[in-house]
Amino acid sequence: MVLDNNLRVADLTGLSGDVPREISKLVSPILTKTEPWEYSLTKGSDKDSLRYPTVVRNTCGPRPDDKYYLYYAHHDIPSGIGCAIADELCGPYVKLAGLDAGRDHSQVLELPRDDVTADNAVLLKHVFGSTPLDHEMIGNFHHLSSPCVLWNPKAELWLLYFHTYQYLWPSGGGHQQTYLATCRDLATHDWEILKNPDGTWQIVLPVTAEPWMNSQSSYHSICCLPDGRFVAYLNGTGGEYIDGQWQITSIGLGFAMSDDGISWDYSPDNPFMEDDGKGLATGMIGYLGNDEYLVVWADSERVHYGRTTDFRTVTRDPGPAAEWQAGLINPWRDGDTLYLFAGDFIAAMKLPVE
């Protein structure tokens, strides 16, 4: 069985040896900044590169065109979710505004407010603050980031998960949450954000009461398993206001499972790993066969491997850490090559195949 790459699970079946720990970078950067929304309002113009690449091939839905659609963002205010398209997996990728003269930007999801500008003195005054007042006054929805796109074969819908900032700390909702947009026809670039009955955006992956993810439920990696279940590989951040100043106290990794990609059950064993002082980030999920999965995560130094069969506990691989570093990885297998989209680069891993 060959897994559909549009489900975002690395197909690691049929290997004659261990998953390699070496990669070679092929493309870096994938994209460069050309549009106003791609530039941070709080950092220099050469900072905060375009990243968080997630790629699908338009082979599903009503108008498949076989092209590769890459979605991207940056980390800072005022990022939206952009899109670029290529004929080949490794590019070159051309942004939507470069393909359609009628478009003035390449975003498929924009900020729901128009005051996130360099002229907003209140926003800029509070953006670097760490008090509850700062976090409230900066305003909600000032950036959209960490897109994660995959195909839902049950509903025949494309899913786009993303996070944004919404100050819900006083009510237990944290600072950042993950939301969902859907699209029936990828070529239209018409994404509809899931909403509550009152018209507000629906949070699909909320923060937890537990300290490991009580502040930020963001930068998650979502995929659809061969058995049809969805798994959210969670990257949580927790903290508290100490003497009136915000302090991050925990970063953890965990799992959530879903039958439809909307309603999720968090594992009671979360987090399976907490910050060891080097920082933690989700990587990717790979299918090894026989109901066993590879779990990849990163710290500030390099990438690590583990295995799971239940998406509750992870057994760390006894081998050495990989000789590379990346977080939030979108895998894509083609024959004996596993392509990895992460950060601002595309890399290749040669697989030992039978």
Q: What is the pLDDT of residues 253-291, one digit of tens each?
A: 999 999 999 999 999 999 999 986 678 999 999 999 999
In the chain, what percentage of residues exceed pLDDT 70? Answer: 99
Distance between CA atoms of 179 and 259, rounded to whole angstroms? 17
* pLDDT reported for residue 193: 99
| Residue 256 and residue 312 in contact, taking contact as beta carbons nearer than 8 Å | no
Gyration radius of the chain over CA positions: 19
Task: Using pLDDT thresholds of 50, 70 and 90, give the confidence band for residue 150.
Answer: very high
Distance between CA atoms of 157 and 160, rounded to whole angstroms? 10
| Residue 76 and residue 5 in contact, taking contact as beta carbons nearer than 8 Å | no
* pLDDT reported for residue 325: 85
Distances (CA, A) of 114 to 48, 78, 141: 21, 10, 10
Distances (CA, A) of 201 to 179, 235, 306: 7, 21, 35
* Nearest of 215, 258, 213 to residue 234 by alpha carbon: 213
For strand 10-11 and strand 281-289, is the pairing parallel, antiparallel, or unpaired? parallel
Task: Using pLDDT thresholds of 50, 70 and 90, give the confidence band for residue 47.
Answer: confident
Domains of the chain: 5-29+127-350 (2.115.10.20)
Query: From start to end of 157-280, where are the E strands?
Result: 157-168, 174-183, 192-193, 203-205, 216-217, 221-224, 230-242, 245-258, 265-266, 273-274
For strand 24-27 and strand 81-86, is the pairing parallel, antiparallel, or unpaired? unpaired
Tens digit of each residue's pLDDT (9 = 90 or more) over 183-227: 999 999 999 999 999 999 999 999 999 999 999 999 999 999 999
* pLDDT reported for residue 48: 80
292: left (phi over 0), alpha (psi -120 to 50) or beta: beta
* Average pLDDT of the residues of the chain: 96
Q: For residues 12-38, give the mean pLDDT.
A: 96
pTM of the shown model: 0.97
Tens digit of each residue's pLDDT (9 = 90 or more) over 4-19: 999 999 999 999 999 9
DSSP codes of every residue in 106-142: -EEE--S-S--STT-HHHHHHTT--SHHHHHHT-S--
* Nearest of 287, 335, 271, 326 to residue 304 by alpha carbon: 326
